[in-house]
Amino acid sequence: MVLSLNNTGTQVTEFLIICFPGMQDTQHWLSVVLAPLLVLALGANFVLLFAIWQVTSLHKPMYYLLAILSLLDVILCLTVIPKVLLIFWFNMKSISFSGCFLQMFIMNTFLPMESSTFLVMAYDRYVAICHPLHYPSVISEQFVIHAAIFIVLRNFLATLPIPVLAARLNYCASNVIENCICANISVAKLSCGNIFLNKLYQFVSIWCLLGSDLVLILLSYCFILRAVIRQPSGGAATKAMSTCGSHLILILFFYTLLLVFIFTNKKGKKVPSEVPILLNVLHHLIPPALNPIVYGVRTKEIKQGIIKLLRYHY
Protein backbone atom coordinates (compact mmCIF):
# COMPACT_ATOMS: atom_id res chain seq x y z
CA MET A 1 0.00 0.00 0.00
CA VAL A 2 1.28 3.43 -0.96
CA LEU A 3 -1.04 5.30 1.37
CA SER A 4 -2.32 4.26 4.76
CA LEU A 5 -4.92 5.71 7.08
CA ASN A 6 -4.15 6.80 10.60
CA ASN A 7 -5.76 9.16 13.06
CA THR A 8 -4.28 12.21 11.34
CA GLY A 9 -5.61 11.39 7.89
CA THR A 10 -4.02 9.94 4.78
CA GLN A 11 -0.26 9.51 5.15
CA VAL A 12 2.34 8.59 2.50
CA THR A 13 4.36 5.48 3.44
CA GLU A 14 6.37 5.17 0.22
CA PHE A 15 7.18 7.18 -2.88
CA LEU A 16 7.08 6.45 -6.61
CA ILE A 17 10.06 7.76 -8.60
CA ILE A 18 9.02 8.20 -12.24
CA CYS A 19 12.26 9.85 -13.50
CA PHE A 20 11.42 11.83 -16.65
CA PRO A 21 7.71 12.85 -16.66
CA GLY A 22 7.56 13.49 -20.40
CA MET A 23 9.62 10.46 -21.47
CA GLN A 24 7.91 7.51 -19.77
CA ASP A 25 7.84 5.41 -22.94
CA THR A 26 11.39 6.17 -24.09
CA GLN A 27 13.44 6.89 -20.95
CA HIS A 28 14.66 3.28 -20.73
CA TRP A 29 16.92 3.95 -23.74
CA LEU A 30 19.07 6.17 -21.51
CA SER A 31 20.27 3.00 -19.81
CA VAL A 32 22.31 2.28 -22.95
CA VAL A 33 24.54 5.18 -21.87
CA LEU A 34 24.17 5.00 -18.09
CA ALA A 35 24.93 1.29 -17.61
CA PRO A 36 28.35 1.31 -19.38
CA LEU A 37 29.28 4.53 -17.58
CA LEU A 38 28.39 2.92 -14.23
CA VAL A 39 30.56 -0.12 -15.01
CA LEU A 40 33.39 2.19 -16.12
CA ALA A 41 33.10 4.40 -13.01
CA LEU A 42 33.02 1.49 -10.54
CA GLY A 43 35.71 -0.49 -12.35
CA ALA A 44 38.12 2.44 -12.70
CA ASN A 45 37.68 3.53 -9.07
CA PHE A 46 38.12 0.02 -7.69
CA VAL A 47 41.30 -0.43 -9.77
CA LEU A 48 42.62 2.90 -8.47
CA LEU A 49 41.76 2.05 -4.84
CA PHE A 50 43.34 -1.38 -5.18
CA ALA A 51 46.51 0.12 -6.69
CA ILE A 52 46.85 2.69 -3.89
CA TRP A 53 46.31 -0.08 -1.32
CA GLN A 54 48.74 -2.59 -2.85
CA VAL A 55 51.57 -0.50 -4.35
CA THR A 56 54.00 0.75 -1.69
CA SER A 57 55.17 3.72 -3.77
CA LEU A 58 51.61 5.09 -3.68
CA HIS A 59 51.47 5.11 0.13
CA LYS A 60 51.76 8.89 0.25
CA PRO A 61 49.36 11.62 1.47
CA MET A 62 48.63 12.84 -2.08
CA TYR A 63 47.38 9.39 -3.09
CA TYR A 64 45.52 8.84 0.17
CA LEU A 65 43.51 11.97 -0.66
CA LEU A 66 42.83 10.54 -4.10
CA ALA A 67 41.63 7.32 -2.43
CA ILE A 68 39.16 9.36 -0.36
CA LEU A 69 37.87 10.98 -3.56
CA SER A 70 37.46 7.58 -5.23
CA LEU A 71 35.61 6.18 -2.21
CA LEU A 72 33.17 9.12 -2.26
CA ASP A 73 32.67 8.61 -6.01
CA VAL A 74 31.80 4.93 -5.52
CA ILE A 75 29.30 5.72 -2.75
CA LEU A 76 27.57 8.45 -4.81
CA CYS A 77 27.37 6.16 -7.85
CA LEU A 78 25.89 3.25 -5.91
CA THR A 79 23.40 5.52 -4.13
CA VAL A 80 21.82 6.89 -7.31
CA ILE A 81 22.53 5.02 -10.55
CA PRO A 82 21.49 1.40 -9.70
CA LYS A 83 18.04 2.63 -8.62
CA VAL A 84 17.71 4.63 -11.85
CA LEU A 85 18.58 1.54 -13.90
CA LEU A 86 16.07 -0.57 -11.94
CA ILE A 87 13.38 1.98 -12.84
CA PHE A 88 14.35 1.89 -16.53
CA TRP A 89 14.71 -1.90 -16.82
CA PHE A 90 12.13 -3.37 -14.41
CA ASN A 91 9.80 -0.42 -13.71
CA MET A 92 10.74 -0.64 -10.00
CA LYS A 93 9.62 2.89 -9.15
CA SER A 94 8.73 2.48 -5.49
CA ILE A 95 11.07 3.49 -2.69
CA SER A 96 10.31 3.34 1.02
CA PHE A 97 9.83 6.50 3.08
CA SER A 98 13.03 5.90 5.06
CA GLY A 99 14.95 4.76 1.97
CA CYS A 100 14.10 7.96 0.15
CA PHE A 101 15.38 10.18 2.95
CA LEU A 102 18.49 8.04 3.37
CA GLN A 103 19.28 8.58 -0.31
CA MET A 104 18.62 12.31 0.13
CA PHE A 105 21.00 12.43 3.10
CA ILE A 106 23.82 10.63 1.25
CA MET A 107 23.50 12.83 -1.84
CA ASN A 108 23.38 16.09 0.09
CA THR A 109 26.27 15.09 2.36
CA PHE A 110 28.69 13.24 0.09
CA LEU A 111 28.56 15.75 -2.76
CA PRO A 112 29.92 18.57 -0.52
CA MET A 113 32.39 16.02 0.89
CA GLU A 114 33.75 15.58 -2.63
CA SER A 115 34.03 19.36 -2.97
CA SER A 116 35.92 19.53 0.34
CA THR A 117 38.25 16.77 -0.86
CA PHE A 118 39.08 18.83 -3.96
CA LEU A 119 39.85 21.74 -1.62
CA VAL A 120 42.25 19.65 0.49
CA MET A 121 43.90 18.32 -2.68
CA ALA A 122 44.33 21.88 -3.94
CA TYR A 123 45.99 22.81 -0.64
CA ASP A 124 48.25 19.75 -1.01
CA ARG A 125 49.40 20.99 -4.43
CA TYR A 126 49.78 24.55 -3.10
CA VAL A 127 52.17 23.43 -0.34
CA ALA A 128 54.04 21.10 -2.73
CA ILE A 129 54.71 23.86 -5.28
CA CYS A 130 54.80 27.07 -3.24
CA HIS A 131 56.50 25.68 -0.11
CA PRO A 132 58.28 22.49 -1.22
CA LEU A 133 60.75 22.45 1.69
CA HIS A 134 57.88 22.38 4.20
CA TYR A 135 55.84 19.77 2.30
CA PRO A 136 57.03 16.63 4.19
CA SER A 137 56.35 18.22 7.57
CA VAL A 138 53.01 19.84 6.63
CA ILE A 139 51.41 17.19 4.39
CA SER A 140 51.84 14.04 6.46
CA GLU A 141 49.69 11.00 7.21
CA GLN A 142 48.48 12.84 10.30
CA PHE A 143 47.38 15.71 8.04
CA VAL A 144 45.35 13.26 5.92
CA ILE A 145 43.62 11.90 9.04
CA HIS A 146 42.75 15.42 10.23
CA ALA A 147 41.59 16.36 6.72
CA ALA A 148 39.33 13.29 6.56
CA ILE A 149 37.78 14.16 9.93
CA PHE A 150 37.26 17.76 8.75
CA ILE A 151 35.63 16.59 5.50
CA VAL A 152 33.21 14.25 7.30
CA LEU A 153 32.24 16.39 10.29
CA ARG A 154 31.91 19.70 8.46
CA ASN A 155 29.61 18.37 5.76
CA PHE A 156 27.69 15.94 7.97
CA LEU A 157 26.75 18.63 10.48
CA ALA A 158 25.98 21.25 7.80
CA THR A 159 23.77 19.05 5.61
CA LEU A 160 22.05 16.79 8.15
CA PRO A 161 19.16 19.29 8.66
CA ILE A 162 18.20 19.01 4.96
CA PRO A 163 16.73 15.45 5.13
CA VAL A 164 15.60 15.99 8.73
CA LEU A 165 13.53 19.04 7.77
CA ALA A 166 12.10 17.20 4.76
CA ALA A 167 11.22 14.08 6.78
CA ARG A 168 9.34 16.16 9.38
CA LEU A 169 6.90 17.47 6.75
CA ASN A 170 3.40 16.03 6.50
CA TYR A 171 3.08 14.00 3.27
CA CYS A 172 -0.65 13.59 2.85
CA ALA A 173 -1.21 14.06 -0.89
CA SER A 174 0.65 12.77 -3.97
CA ASN A 175 3.58 10.38 -3.56
CA VAL A 176 4.89 10.64 -7.15
CA ILE A 177 8.40 12.13 -7.39
CA GLU A 178 9.01 13.70 -10.80
CA ASN A 179 12.72 13.04 -10.65
CA CYS A 180 15.14 10.11 -10.88
CA ILE A 181 16.32 10.59 -7.30
CA CYS A 182 14.94 11.74 -3.95
CA ALA A 183 16.09 15.32 -4.38
CA ASN A 184 15.16 17.55 -1.45
CA ILE A 185 12.85 20.00 -3.24
CA SER A 186 11.31 17.32 -5.51
CA VAL A 187 10.23 15.42 -2.40
CA ALA A 188 9.38 18.38 -0.12
CA LYS A 189 6.99 19.93 -2.64
CA LEU A 190 4.79 16.81 -2.32
CA SER A 191 4.03 17.71 1.29
CA CYS A 192 1.00 19.58 2.54
CA GLY A 193 3.09 22.03 4.56
CA ASN A 194 5.18 25.15 3.99
CA ILE A 195 8.60 24.29 2.51
CA PHE A 196 10.11 27.79 2.57
CA LEU A 197 12.53 26.80 5.36
CA ASN A 198 13.59 23.69 3.42
CA LYS A 199 14.39 25.74 0.32
CA LEU A 200 16.17 28.44 2.31
CA TYR A 201 18.35 26.07 4.31
CA GLN A 202 19.37 24.02 1.27
CA PHE A 203 20.21 27.19 -0.69
CA VAL A 204 22.28 28.73 2.12
CA SER A 205 24.07 25.55 3.21
CA ILE A 206 24.98 24.28 -0.25
CA TRP A 207 26.13 27.67 -1.52
CA CYS A 208 28.16 28.31 1.65
CA LEU A 209 29.82 24.89 1.47
CA LEU A 210 30.46 24.63 -2.25
CA GLY A 211 30.95 28.36 -2.75
CA SER A 212 33.61 28.68 -0.04
CA ASP A 213 35.37 25.56 -1.36
CA LEU A 214 35.43 26.90 -4.92
CA VAL A 215 36.76 30.33 -3.86
CA LEU A 216 39.57 28.77 -1.79
CA ILE A 217 40.42 26.31 -4.59
CA LEU A 218 40.70 29.13 -7.13
CA LEU A 219 42.85 31.14 -4.71
CA SER A 220 45.15 28.14 -4.24
CA TYR A 221 45.64 27.75 -7.98
CA CYS A 222 46.23 31.48 -8.40
CA PHE A 223 49.09 31.21 -5.89
CA ILE A 224 50.33 28.07 -7.64
CA LEU A 225 50.26 29.79 -11.04
CA ARG A 226 52.13 32.79 -9.66
CA ALA A 227 54.79 30.52 -8.12
CA VAL A 228 55.18 28.54 -11.36
CA ILE A 229 55.57 31.71 -13.45
CA ARG A 230 58.31 32.93 -11.10
CA GLN A 231 60.29 29.69 -11.34
CA PRO A 232 63.42 30.18 -13.44
CA SER A 233 63.47 26.61 -14.76
CA GLY A 234 61.07 25.98 -17.61
CA GLY A 235 61.20 22.20 -17.04
CA ALA A 236 60.25 22.52 -13.39
CA ALA A 237 57.39 24.85 -14.26
CA THR A 238 56.09 22.45 -16.89
CA LYS A 239 56.25 19.50 -14.46
CA ALA A 240 54.46 21.49 -11.75
CA MET A 241 51.65 22.53 -14.10
CA SER A 242 51.33 18.97 -15.38
CA THR A 243 50.90 17.75 -11.80
CA CYS A 244 48.16 20.31 -11.16
CA GLY A 245 46.55 19.97 -14.58
CA SER A 246 44.60 16.82 -13.78
CA HIS A 247 43.34 18.36 -10.53
CA LEU A 248 42.17 21.54 -12.25
CA ILE A 249 40.45 19.72 -15.14
CA LEU A 250 38.36 17.58 -12.79
CA ILE A 251 37.60 20.44 -10.40
CA LEU A 252 36.39 22.72 -13.19
CA PHE A 253 34.26 19.95 -14.69
CA PHE A 254 32.76 19.10 -11.27
CA TYR A 255 31.71 22.68 -10.53
CA THR A 256 30.72 23.57 -14.11
CA LEU A 257 28.29 20.64 -14.38
CA LEU A 258 26.92 21.44 -10.93
CA LEU A 259 26.40 25.14 -11.74
CA VAL A 260 24.72 24.32 -15.08
CA PHE A 261 22.35 21.98 -13.23
CA ILE A 262 21.52 24.64 -10.61
CA PHE A 263 20.87 27.42 -13.14
CA THR A 264 18.77 25.23 -15.48
CA ASN A 265 16.76 24.12 -12.46
CA LYS A 266 16.12 27.76 -11.49
CA LYS A 267 14.87 28.63 -14.98
CA GLY A 268 11.68 26.70 -14.28
CA LYS A 269 9.40 26.43 -17.30
CA LYS A 270 11.93 28.12 -19.62
CA VAL A 271 13.93 24.88 -19.62
CA PRO A 272 12.30 21.42 -20.07
CA SER A 273 12.07 19.64 -16.70
CA GLU A 274 13.96 16.68 -18.16
CA VAL A 275 17.15 18.76 -18.58
CA PRO A 276 17.95 19.42 -14.88
CA ILE A 277 16.88 15.86 -14.00
CA LEU A 278 19.30 14.41 -16.56
CA LEU A 279 22.10 16.76 -15.44
CA ASN A 280 21.56 15.72 -11.84
CA VAL A 281 21.88 12.05 -12.75
CA LEU A 282 24.96 12.66 -14.92
CA HIS A 283 26.60 14.66 -12.14
CA HIS A 284 26.52 11.50 -10.00
CA LEU A 285 28.08 9.44 -12.79
CA ILE A 286 30.40 11.37 -15.14
CA PRO A 287 32.81 12.85 -12.53
CA PRO A 288 33.21 9.42 -10.83
CA ALA A 289 33.96 7.90 -14.25
CA LEU A 290 36.42 10.65 -15.23
CA ASN A 291 38.31 11.13 -11.94
CA PRO A 292 40.28 7.84 -11.86
CA ILE A 293 40.83 7.84 -15.64
CA VAL A 294 42.28 11.35 -15.75
CA TYR A 295 44.50 10.68 -12.73
CA GLY A 296 45.57 7.32 -14.14
CA VAL A 297 46.51 8.82 -17.50
CA ARG A 298 48.13 12.03 -16.24
CA THR A 299 49.88 10.79 -13.07
CA LYS A 300 53.02 8.81 -13.84
CA GLU A 301 53.24 7.08 -10.44
CA ILE A 302 49.66 5.79 -10.61
CA LYS A 303 50.09 4.59 -14.17
CA GLN A 304 53.27 2.72 -13.21
CA GLY A 305 51.59 1.29 -10.12
CA ILE A 306 48.66 -0.11 -12.12
CA ILE A 307 51.01 -1.58 -14.75
CA LYS A 308 53.07 -3.16 -11.97
CA LEU A 309 49.95 -4.75 -10.49
CA LEU A 310 48.82 -6.08 -13.87
CA ARG A 311 52.24 -7.63 -14.52
CA TYR A 312 52.30 -9.20 -11.05
CA HIS A 313 48.87 -10.79 -11.39
CA TYR A 314 49.02 -11.72 -15.07
pLDDT tens digits, 33-59: 999 999 999 999 999 999 999 999 899
Residue 72 has pLDDT above 90, yes or no: yes
Three-class SS of residue 292? helix
Phi first, then psi, for residue 247 (nearest 5°) are -60, -50
Residue 6 pLDDT level (bands cut at 50, 70, 90): very low
Residue 1 has pLDDT above 70, yes or no: no
Residue 107 pLDDT level (bands cut at 50, 70, 90): very high
Residue 217 has pLDDT above 90, yes or no: yes
Residue 268 pLDDT level (bands cut at 50, 70, 90): low
Three-class SS of residue 95? strand
Q: Please give the mean pLDDT across all residues of the chain.
A: 87
What residues contact 234, with CB distance under 8 A and at least 6 apart?
Answer: none
Q: Which residue has the higher pLDDT, 226 or 110?
A: 110
Three-class SS of residue 1? coil
Phi-psi region of 91 (alpha: psi -120 to 50; beta: other; left: phi over 0): left
